[in-house]
Structure 1
Amino acid sequence: MAESVTKTLLHSQALQQYILDTSVFPREHELLKQLRTATFEKYGHLCELNIPGDEGMFLSMLLKIINAKRTLEIGVFTGYSLLITALALPDDGKVTAIDLDQEAYEVGLPFIEKAGVSHKISFIQSDALSALDQMLSQKGDGQGRAEEFDFVFVDADKSEYRGYHERVMRLLRIGGVVAYDNTLWYGSVAKGQEELPEFLRSRAMEGVASYFYDGHTAIVEFNEFLASDPRVDISQVPIGDGVTLCRRLR
């Protein structure tokens, strides 16, 4: 079952299941459920690359609280968080999504279209740094093409988080919020890589093992950087495997 594969820092599986059964699954949009299942069927445990349902509900609430209208998503995979965002935005809202993997995005595209929110989404097939640099090159060119985002969600290459941050600070409006995913890295930031789930260390995952292990070091360094960045207020939320919210101050 797709529901059995989810990122959480809770030590009680029963408590995590309680949260899902009482707060998430009853209110989860039917097309989000279908997308989650389709991702699991195609990618197996790699469905972990999408955010879990409870984190999705948290982000949806946050978008509505701050009245976000223009958002940016760095790292899409099959688009679970992208669909959550599009559903949360007003009808004239816009989310710009960046990912190199067009094939994975197209797994989720039929569900996005069925939900009637595809008009809110602009997908850019590109590595994120190049796409962000392109946006910055257009900023202030007097042709109305520069983006100034209310909210940014980052869930891509952890080793590039610092580079994303420097660019996002120039694209996010003052008072806007950026959310960085996976900033507690399965709890391993406190106790080491041995805290990673067993399935991530199995032989079946050898093709992506470096992603999970290299991410540990990158996240630890990024967390230390954010703690000293005077440009943002920060709050690290222990949902999923950690989400750090940064509100731009200047």
Structure 2
Amino acid sequence: MSNRTLNLNDTVYEYLLAHSLRESPLLKQLREETATLEMARMQISPEQGQLLNLLVKLLGARQVIEIGVFTGYSALCMAEALPADGRLVACDINQEWTDMARRYWHEAGVHKQIELLLAPADKTLQKLIDTGNANSFDFAFIDADKSHYLTYYEQCLKLIRRGGLIAIDNTLWNGDVADPAVNDADTQAIRDLNDALHSDSRVDISLLPIGDGLTLAHKR
């Protein structure tokens, strides 16, 4: 028994994957192709993708929004959990990476459910708000540029319905958020978000030590 979260060494992590992960061959292929890229560190962990899939199912989500697509692994995990008439709005600015994502979405047969919008995400989210989509989404996943995290969170909070969920990646930031000697702009932006969420009475929260830290915010 333990009264604090277990520190996962390589042996325990491999055990976790062996006894929990149900990654499809296509998802594994996408993850392995992504691992060959220079920016492969931006890829979420496979157990994190499986959690996103489960959360979408538990919510019975029909409308999902993602900020930060990269090569499409997380979007594919979530899209596969949607009903046939579900929709995932995917926000990114990189054509090359999202072309790779589209290829896998087509192969998985979920491409018609994913609406990819290539533009700065804050502009896309504001347009969704301005065109009557407030309180209409069930789930949001934020995993993009850290400097805009607070902006994305506030915009998603408007777009998510009451009872909906926002998941925010990288909120432990390799432990740097807890190190007072680290004060770069990205680290401080995540600290600011974490501080704001901790005192935000509009949501219930839990910061999970999965991947690089994943915060769940449930809209009251």
Q: TM-score, normalised by structure 2?
A: 0.92
Distance 2:7 2:211 in 1: 9
Choose the corresponding residue for 1:106, options 84, 93, 99. 99
Q: Is the 8 A contact 2:134 2:161 kept in 1?
A: no
Q: TM-score, normalised by structure 1?
A: 0.81
Distance 1:22 1:168 in 2: 34
**Structure 2 alignment gaps of length 5 or more:** 1-5
For the aligned residue pairs, the C-alpha RMSD in angstroms reads 1.8
1:123 aligns with 2:94: no
Among all aligned residue pairs of Structure 1 and Structure 2, give the percentage whose two residues are the same amino acid. 41
Distance 2:59 2:94 in 1: 30
Distance 1:193 1:32, change over 3 A: farther
* SS across alignment from 1:230: coil
Choose the corresponding residue for 2:164, options 173, 176, 198. 176
Q: Is the 8 A contact 1:193 1:213 kept in 2?
A: no
Which one has a larger percent helix, Structure 1 or Structure 2? 1
Q: What is the CA distance between 1:92 and its match in structure 2?
A: 1.2
Q: Deviations over 1:116-165 (max 9, x none)?
A: 111110000011111111112211xxxxx667100000001111111111
Paired position in structure 1 for 2:3? none
Choose the corresponding residue for 2:9, options 9, 12, 20. 12
Q: Which has the higher contact order (CA 8 A, sep 6+)?
A: 1
Distance 2:135 2:96 in 1: 26
Alignment of 1:27-106 (within 5 A): 27-41=22-36, 43-44=37-38, 46-106=39-99
Paired position in structure 2 for 1:223? 194
Distance 2:181 2:93 in 1: 27
**Structure 1 alignment gaps of length 5 or more:** 1-8, 140-144, 195-211
Paired position in structure 1 for 2:185? 214
Distance 1:108 1:154 in 2: 17
Q: Deviations over 1:206-234 (max 9, x none)?
A: xxxxxx95321111111001111111111
